[in-house]
Amino acid sequence: MIHVKYHLNVFPSPHRLSRDAPPMLSDSVSVTLTQPQEYAFTAFSAITLYNSIELIILCLATFKRYHGVYFWSLFITSCSLIVNTLGFILLFFVNVTPYVSVTIVLIGWYCMITGHSIVLWSRLHLVLHQPRILRAILYLIIVNAVVLQIPTTVLLYGAVSPSVGETFTKGYNIIERIQLVVFCLQESLLSSIYIWETAKLLYLRPQRAHRIILVQLLAINIVILALDIVVVVFQYAGLFALQVVFKPVAYSIKLRLEYAILGRLVVFATGAQGSSSSGRSQNESGPSWPGMVGVSDESWRSGGSSKSNPCRCGNS
């Protein structure tokens, strides 16, 4: 998100993106970057845009059918990274009214944050078959989105308003930090539940191959947690420009790791169901490649217990 600071007095010697003046949010608020921050901004933006395009192509090439909560949350979140990054490019580098750039940033932010949480929630259906818990988690995601994103939006538009900017600035800066930490904790909770439920499944089948899967999933989730921590550290260290541009990079990496997580989980879950129910092979249509996993809508509605194999072979 955007970090609002008072006018140029707080910037001793800023490098101005516009050679005559920095981008202005209101009469009392401005956004500036130092030259090293410009380089970092450019590099991170390029990484985000590249990863986002790759994720969109991978998503469209992966799924059998383009419907279901998991597919659309994954697809929309991947697209939102581009929207969020373009919004900040307009804010920092293009002389447009701040209302335009802020609106684009907010649209991307809504879909990126809440969309990713929905991705994590949808993934839980493969390992957690308790509708009450799944429903409670969904309610938590919705409540956090309403309670945090609506006030953040109001305060941000107020902060960029020429007439009342200073009045809303302090409130926005406070809620920005709160929402950053809360959403980080929310995603950590979803990942922790996933790890716990996966560990319980693997405990029932203590073969070495399954222990390796658990170790891999733990390692992936540790990387995801580390990315969240880096974003929070940037925010509280006052490195606003790095935080806002690194966050989409972090989410693009999380989404890329999502395919690896889902691939391992689907192979295990479908294999466990096949061996316990009918003894059939876990992959009747061929082996599953973690980078190319398609999950049907029926699989998510049934909590991953569909009799048909939800995977689409990706290495044929």
Contact predicate 213/282, CB 8 Å: no
What is residue 142's predicted lDDT score, i.e. its pLDDT? 97
At residue 203, the pLDDT reads: 76
Q: Report how far apart, in Å, the C-alpha atoms of 284 and of each of 175, 215, 275 are.
A: 51, 26, 12
Question: pLDDT value at position 234?
Answer: 86
Inter-residue contact 264 to 122 (CB < 8 Å): no
Question: What's the whole-model pTM score?
Answer: 0.76
Q: Which residues pair with residue 73 across a beta bridge?
A: none
The CATH code belonging to domain 35-270 is 1.20.1070
Q: What is the pLDDT of residue 194?
A: 87
| C-alpha torsion sign, points 206, 209, 213, 214 | positive
Residues in Cβ contact with 284 at an 8 Å cutoff, skipping those fewer than 6 apart: 309
Predicted pLDDT of residue 214: 77
HEC sequence for the chain: CCCCEECHHHCCCCCCCCCCCCCEEECCEECCCCHHHHHHHHHHHHHHHHHHHHHHHHHHHHCCCCCCHHHHHHHHHHHHHHHHHHHHHHHHHCCCCHHHHHHHHHHHHHHHHHHHHHHHHHHHHHCCCCHHHHHHHHHHHHHHHHHHHHHHHHHHHHHCCCCCHHHHHHHHHHHHHHHHHHHHHHHHHHHHHHHHHHHHHHHCCCCHHHHHHHHHHHHHHHHHHHHHHHHHHHHHCCCHHHHHHHHHHHHHHHHHHHHHHHHHHHHHHHHHHHHHHCCCCCCCCCCCECCECCCCHHHHHCCCCCCCCCCCCCCC
CA-based torsion, 157, 73, 174, 12: positive or negative: negative
Query: Quick one: pLDDT at residue 27?
Result: 42
pLDDT at 241 (0 to 100): 73
Picking from 294, 244, 260, the residue whose alpha carbon sits closest to that of residue 113 is: 244
Q: Which amino acid is at 139?
A: Y
User: Digits of tens for pLDDT over the chain (316 positions)?
Assistant: 555 443 323 222 333 333 333 344 444 445 566 777 788 888 999 999 999 999 999 999 888 888 889 999 999 999 999 999 999 888 888 878 889 999 999 999 999 999 999 999 998 988 888 999 999 999 999 999 999 999 999 998 988 887 766 778 888 888 989 999 999 999 999 989 988 888 887 777 767 767 777 788 888 888 888 898 888 888 888 777 778 889 999 999 999 888 777 777 666 655 555 544 443 333 333 333 333 343 444 444 443 434 333 334 333 3
- Domain ranges in the chain are 35-270
Is there a contact between 307 and 280 (Cβ–Cβ < 8 Å)?
A: no
Q: What does the alpha-carbon distance between residue 1 and residue 20 come to, in Å, rounded to a whole number?
A: 25
Strands 29-30 and 24-26 come out as antiparallel
Residue with tokens 């970057």: 33
Written as six digits, the tokens of 35 are 């030259």
- Under 8 Å CB-to-CB from 67, ≥6 apart: which residues? 297
Amino acid at residue number 74: L
**What is the reported pLDDT for 49?**
95
